Amino acid sequence: MTRMPPGTRARARAETTRAILDEARRQLAEQGAAALSLRSVAREVGMVSSAVYRYVASRDELLTRLIVEAYDAVGERAEAARDPEAPPRAQWRAVWRAVRSWGLEHPAEYALIYGSPVPGYAAPAETIPAAGRVGLLLAAIVAEHGQAPPGDGESDGESDGVLLEGLLPGVAPPLVLPAIAAWTQLFGTVGFELFGQYENVVVDRAAFLDAVADTAASSVGLPPS
């Protein structure tokens, strides 16, 4: 039997794994995450069902890979959109717009990471770094440009049990809670558009996103443009 050189084997494995993930993503768009199965993916890529387990150990591992790739993709889009030399609100708005554009282009993947939980699946800790990319990007803008309001004696939100201690290092304590709220507003606003919740309510969805982004920018103390 002729053995492949190690580099050739590695490339072949990478190509097969990519074919499996691409097919899984196609089925995700057509059927949704709950219907995704390794057997179906294996059949469509021309593999016997037993062979696919050499590349992906389980349906849950397949979902995890798709989830991490989706989080990384939206994170990369948002990071590329931010120009650190632009005015703070322009940076902020660019991130929001980038998330929306990615979601409109990849609705099934957006639903996978920000929609209903997949029955029987629990995301492992390895998804956390990718999941935090957009939130940390927003936090970086707040840390660099957010202006905390003058002290008025109210709680900062962390010390009274509302949030975990030590979230968003570098962000002024009074701005941590509104920064987390802005993160949820971003993904909620995009999700409402993608899942049809703005029918007969919002006419210009792009302008609406900008308006919500500007309100959130004020809440985290970004200076006016």
Class of domain 1-57: mainly alpha
Whether 46 shows a pLDDT value over 80: the answer reads yes
Whether 18 shows a pLDDT value over 60: the answer reads yes
Whether 159 shows a pLDDT value over 70: the answer reads no
DSSP 120-135: T----GGGHHHHTHHH
Handedness of CA 34, 39, 42, 44 (dihedral sign): negative
Q: State which fold the 65-219 domain adopts.
A: Tetracycline Repressor; domain 2 (1.10.357)
Which residues have C-beta within 8 Å of that of residue 30, sequence separation ≥ 6?
Answer: none
Separation between Cα atoms, residue 16 and residue 95, nearest integer Å: 34
Separation between Cα atoms, residue 111 and residue 41, nearest integer Å: 20
Which of the pair, 86 or 225, is modelled with greater confidence?
86
Tokens of 163: 């949030």
Query: Burial, 47: exposed, middle or buried (Cβ in 10 Å; 0-12, 13-18, 19+)?
Result: buried
- Predicted confidence band at 3 (pLDDT cuts at 50, 70, 90)? low
User: Could you tell me if 64 and 129 are in contact, meaning their C-beta atoms sit under 8 angstroms apart?
Assistant: no
Whether 4 shows a pLDDT value over 80: the answer reads no
What is the reported pLDDT for 1?
A: 45
What is the reported pLDDT for 153?
A: 47
pTM: 0.89
What is the reported pLDDT for 150?
A: 80
In the chain, domain spans = 1-57, 65-219
